[in-house]
């Protein structure tokens, strides 16, 4: 049978509020009272219930990472694994924990309402996404990654457009004119291209504007190696076959390399592949 706060209060001869103070706000108790409560709690085997303690403190000690995809898709992406590792190292420095929050029964909004977190880091959601509107209504602090910032939600990004333009210009400077692009898919079925995809595509187009080159073949593929291999198989054959590929995903680019090798092609002798470093 679980020992309750009332059991500790009765055994120590104090109020339930005093027991709560002992664990959550010990500075509000005298030293003798604090020591007595903690000693009784230890003898009875009492520990505060995590949810109750979070409610009392109005904080959970947890940062949520809002993920619009399924976990199986997320863990197939090496970039995201490295991102989680970096975030985990940082939150540990502040004695916090990290909670991955994917859609709940297909609903990201439902997952948000069920998550007990002090703040969210959102991956790849457009500023007008309903999930971010839900966060704004609830009032949970949120920082966006791979998105555009807003008055409610600041964003942390890299120079997607500049990096993509440099990648495309590199291929063009090598003499390639028959290019193909592997674009990232929307993060949610009802959404259009992600802000990240839009910035990278703008960078590609900026580089192409200064060269006499045909419009590149475009295919949308997931950020996984199998998706990259399928994209490679969809490219035109014969004279229209691309000689260089711009991939928005490292993992898709690796998939292209494997598929090209299986097809008997050599990289970079027969095909050049450049990817934008994330994701």
Per-residue model confidence as pLDDT tens digits over 168-215: 999 999 999 999 999 988 876 555 677 888 889 999 999 999 888 888
Residue 165 has pLDDT above 70, yes or no: yes
Q: What is the pLDDT of residues 31-55, one digit of tens each?
A: 899 889 888 988 888 866 554 555 4
Q: Identify the pLDDT of residue 156.
A: 87
Q: State percent of the chain over pLDDT 90.
A: 33
Sheet order of strands, 97-101 included: 97-101, 62-66, 119-123, 142-145, 155-156
The 272-275 sheet, strands edge to edge: 217-220, 179-183, 244-247, 272-275
Architecture of the structural domain at 62-156: 3-Layer(aba) Sandwich (3.40)
**Domain edges within the chain:** 5-57, 62-156, 160-275
- d(C-alpha 124, C-alpha 197), whole Å: 10
Assigned CATH topology for domain 160-275: Rossmann fold (3.40.50)
Q: What's the confidence (pLDDT) of residue 130?
A: 84
Give the per-residue pLDDT at 191: 59
Check for a shared fold between 5-57 and 62-156. Answer: no
Phi-psi region of 35 (alpha: psi -120 to 50; beta: other; left: phi over 0): alpha
Q: At 26, list the tokens.
A: 């010990």
- What are the tens digits of pLDDT across the range 57-111? 556 788 999 988 777 777 777 777 888 888 989 888 888 889 999 888 778 888 8
pLDDT at 279: 45
> How high does pLDDT run on average in the chain?
85
Residue 268 three-state SS: coil
Architecture of domain 5-57: Orthogonal Bundle (1.10)
């Amino acid at each position: 049978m679980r020992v309750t706060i009332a059991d500790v209060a009765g055994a120590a001869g104090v109020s339930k509020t005093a027991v709560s103070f002992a664990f959550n706000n010990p500075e509000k108790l005298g030293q003798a009272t604090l020591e007595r409560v903690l000693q009784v709690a230890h003898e009875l085997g009492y520990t505060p219930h995590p949810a109750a303690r979070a409610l009392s403190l109005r904080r959970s000690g947890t940062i949520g990472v809002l993920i619009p995809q399924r976990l199986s898709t997320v863990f197939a992406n090496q970039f995201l694994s490295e991102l989680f590792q970096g975030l985990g190292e940082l939150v540990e420095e502040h004695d916090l924990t990290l909670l991955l929050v994917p859609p709940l029964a297909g609903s990201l909004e439902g997952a948000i309402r069920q998550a007990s977190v002090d703040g969210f880091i959102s991956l790849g959601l457009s500023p007008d996404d309903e999930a971010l509107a839900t966060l704004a209504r609830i009032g949970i602090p949120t920082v966006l990654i791979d998105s555009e910032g807003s008055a409610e939600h600041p964003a942390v990004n890299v120079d997607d457009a500049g990096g993509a333009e440099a990648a495309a210009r590199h291929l063009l400077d090598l003499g390639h004119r028959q290019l193909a692009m592997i674009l990232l898919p929307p993060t949610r079925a009802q959404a259009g291209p992600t802000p990240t995809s839009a910035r990278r595509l703008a960078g590609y187009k900026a580089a192409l504007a200064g060269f006499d080159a045909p419009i590149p073949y475009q295919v949308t593929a997931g950020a996984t190696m199998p998706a990259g291999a399928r994209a490679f198989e969809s490219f035109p054959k014969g004279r229209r076959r691309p000689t260089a590929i711009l991939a928005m995903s490292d993992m898709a680019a690796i998939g292209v390399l494997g598929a090209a090798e299986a097809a008997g092609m050599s990289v970079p002798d027969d095909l050049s592949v450049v990817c934008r470093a994330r994701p």
